Structure 1
Amino acid sequence: MNILDKIIEHKKQEVADAKSKISLAQLKDSEFFQRKTFSLKESVKSGSGIIAEFKRKSPSKGIINDKAAVLEVAKSYENFGASGISILTDEIFFGGNLQDLMKVRNEISIPILRKDFMIDEYQFYEAKTNGADVILLIASCLSPIQVQEFTELSHELGLEVLLEIHTEDELEHFNKNIDLVGINNRNLKDFKVDLQHSVDLKNQLPKDVLSVAESGIYDLKDYQFLKEKGFDGFLMGEYFMKNENPGSKFEEFISNVTK
């Protein structure tokens, strides 16, 4: 069993536990459930395109930064020009939680992506009720039909969808209602990074689809290469989070990008 399979197995139990504690009716009663969400799609088109991530750890890297405060980092990301903020909400494997979303939501005015392994309708209501604007659908965890159904549900809740793909076969998960397509430069099964593979996949998408390069962007050269190849957005986390002050590292990076 690879790491992705382990995560999904644990996620099923996690969702079942959450359902037993908080009902859908209770989720819908949240102060955030009726709020008008921000559009990541529009923010990427009009801004820097960088979706800066808050991530404490990962299965491949272990602890990345377990000292930084989510609110402080999120505010810095916004202040220095991020188009959106990605927050990991998986606790066991990535050190995140839904409370991180709640802490940030009323303090910033840019879109928040709930980054997690979405396998059940319940999680979409969780995302909405905790202040998310966008959710991630990982093609390797879902069937094309599930992607279509979850996209429809997301839009009913006012949430946008970032579909993440890794392989050519996963291109068939795309449907015209998807808001953005993320192409993960890192293979989730063996964690190898291949930027050219991502470019090849991007070139097979419809021309009008907003594309987001995800993971494995380790320096300015990686960013520039992907930008030149036509990517609209860039989901970056480890590059900033591995520093003691992620916001300061983001400021440095964005200043070099705009030179």
Structure 2
Amino acid sequence: MNASEGDLAPQVRSILSAARARPGGERRLTVDARSFPAAVEATESEGRVPLIAEVKPTSPTTDGVRDDDPVELAREMVAGGATALSVLTEPEHFGGSTDSLERIRDAVDVPVLRKDFVMNETQLDVVESDLILLIARFVGDDLSNLVDAAKDRGFQPLVEVHTKDELDAALATDADIVGINNRDLGKLEVDLGTFEDLASHVPDDVLLVAESGVKTADDVRRMREAGADALLVGTAIMDGDVRENTRNLSSL
């Protein structure tokens, strides 16, 4: 199920090449994770929409760089009602760092997702987080082993999919959290219909996250009506006042 390099956008091929070359951790981690499902339940009990707000300095699909202190951005997102945070640790293309993740996780009390391109088991051991992203398309047949390895360390793996085949592969693992990415990582094109097409195939006992392309309150409602338990939002929160943007999208 590994994607052939030829059908990927040049930016994505560059990201994967860099990811494969990055070293893993020097020791096996043991993580005492903050529960993401419990945080989602608590948010919903308050009548708000569970949002994973993303600290994303830059990306291949956005213009410019946001150079605010990432810890202050994270605190503002939590103040705006974020259920959890996603922190980029990919350095070359997204301006992220493991240092930022460590500082943010120390500064907030919500679950923190490490968003990166983890390609092998040793890369799980680079930095502690509560959730860790595993992209089905890029890890291929190693997905189930990586899910197990992540859970053995105490991480909550968020398995990201974009197609029905990838979703089937994710559901065949022990993953409890699945994210449906509306962005085709091969072409970097976004279609909210992707989530709507796949969400109905996800069992009720799997926590389902809608990723990418959510910009407006209408988009939030659309994803929630299609079955999203939570939404991961990056650019729409980072573009402007992050506290106000988070509050607006989580207070529907």
Superposition TM-score, scaled by structure 1 size: 0.86
Query: Per the alignment, in what secondary structure is the counterpart of residue 189 of structure 2?
Result: coil
Q: Note the C-alpha offset of 1:102.
A: 1.4
Q: Note the C-alpha offset of 1:80.
A: 2.5
Whole-angstrom distance in 2 between the partners of 1:14 and 1:189: 21
Q: How many residues align?
A: 238
1:61-72 → structure 2 map (5 Å cutoff): 61-63=62-64, 65-72=65-72
1:176-191 → structure 2 map (5 Å cutoff): 176-191=173-188
Query: Per the alignment, in what secondary structure is the counterpart of residue 94 of structure 2?
Result: coil
Higher RCO (CA 8 Å, separation ≥ 6 residues) = 2
Aligned position for 2:3: none
In the alignment, does 2:134 pair up with 1:133? no
Structure 1 runs of 4+ aligned residues shifted over 6 Å read none
Aligned pair in 2 of structure 1 residues 34, 120: CA closer, same or farther (>3 Å)?
Answer: closer
Aligned pair in 2 of structure 1 residues 42, 135: CA closer, same or farther (>3 Å)?
Answer: same
Aligned position for 2:208: 211
Seq. identity, %:
31
User: Aligned letter for 1:8?
Assistant: L
1:138-177 → structure 2 map (5 Å cutoff): 138-143=135-140, 145-174=141-170, 175-177=172-174
Whole-angstrom distance in 2 between the partners of 1:253 and 1:194: 19
Structure 2 contact 53–233 (Cα < 8 Å) conserved: yes
User: Aligned letter for 1:199?
Assistant: E
Query: Per the alignment, in what secondary structure is the counterpart of residue 137 of structure 2?
Result: helix
Superposition TM-score, scaled by structure 2 size: 0.88
Structure 1 contact 4–188 (Cα < 8 Å) conserved: yes
Aligned position for 2:46: none
1:32-47 → structure 2 map (5 Å cutoff): 36-47=32-43
Whole-angstrom distance in 1 between the partners of 2:133 and 2:68: 23
Give unmatched runs, 5+ long, in structure 2: 1-5, 44-48
- For residues 86-137 of structure 1, give each alpha carbon's deviation from its aligned partner in whole angstroms, at most 9, with x where no partner exists: 0011011111010111111221111000000010212211132xxx111001
User: Aligned letter for 2:174?
Assistant: N
Q: Note the C-alpha offset of 1:35.
A: 5.5
In the alignment, does 2:22 pair up with 1:14? yes
Give unmatched runs, 5+ long, in structure 1: none
Query: Per the alignment, in what secondary structure is the counterpart of residue 92 of structure 1?
Result: helix
Whole-angstrom distance in 1 between the partners of 2:62 and 2:87: 17
Whole-angstrom distance in 2 between the partners of 1:240 and 1:167: 26
